[in-house]
Chain A
């Protein structure tokens, strides 16, 4: 079945530094990837949608200059949290699908727990 690998699974960084999270589709070409953020005891909140080779589409209220998304290939998307602050500490999850087939299921990564100290 379709597998999405997310790396790292957890990261601790100092306030003001940047952190990059990778999301890879291992056995399929993901034309569309999604990035979510989840705070404790809350549901997933969609941050942005990225299509290979084009700029990401950010949800309302998500700062595109703070959360940089790159989807340069059909198997890799990255999320960079720039100038991280403690309030950016959260569980970040990516999802991938083949464009036009989303009706038949999305595959999610295992998530990255970011702690900013």
Chain B
């Protein structure tokens, strides 16, 4: 699976929007962009995924660059419960089903 690059950490204030970037310059046409997050002492949870178009769900929005070499996870109003490590992962359609985690971005939300 292609590699992603994320900032090690980011900070936000409660009730403000958060934009978490992810670079994936070697993405291929069949790679889906997945985001997972891991709260302290818990297993990861699925956040959102997309291929080419921007995606919205109840948790977040995913904005995908036109060239697909980068994407941004958007939390519209951060809460203290959103403090977690966020992982951006590429999954290849038809490829290995393994989900390989990078280092992720640790998001701190200040009250």
Known: A44-B44, A93-B43, A108-B44. A102 touches B99 (CB 8 A): yes
- Assess whether A111 is in contact with B42, with CB atoms less than 8 Å apart: yes
Contacts of A64 in B (CB 8 A): none
Contact with B along A90-101 (1 / 0, CB 8 A): 010111010100
- Assess whether A49 is in contact with B97, with CB atoms less than 8 Å apart: yes
Contacts of A34 in B (CB 8 A): 98-99
Classify the interface of chain B: helix, strand, loop or mixed: loop
Please, how many residues of chain B have a CB less than 8 angstroms from a CB on the other chain? 23
Contacts of B104 in A (CB 8 A): 43
Please, how many residues of chain A have a CB less than 8 angstroms from a CB on the other chain? 27
- Assess whether A111 is in contact with B97, with CB atoms less than 8 Å apart: no
Contacts of A6 in B (CB 8 A): 43
Contacts of B68 in A (CB 8 A): none
- Assess whether A95 is in contact with B43, with CB atoms less than 8 Å apart: yes
CA distance A38 to B97 in the complex (A): 20
Known: A44-B101, A46-B98, A95-B99. A103 touches B42 (CB 8 A): no
Residues in chain B within 8 A of chain A (CB atoms): 32, 34, 36, 38, 41-46, 49, 85, 87, 91, 93, 97-104
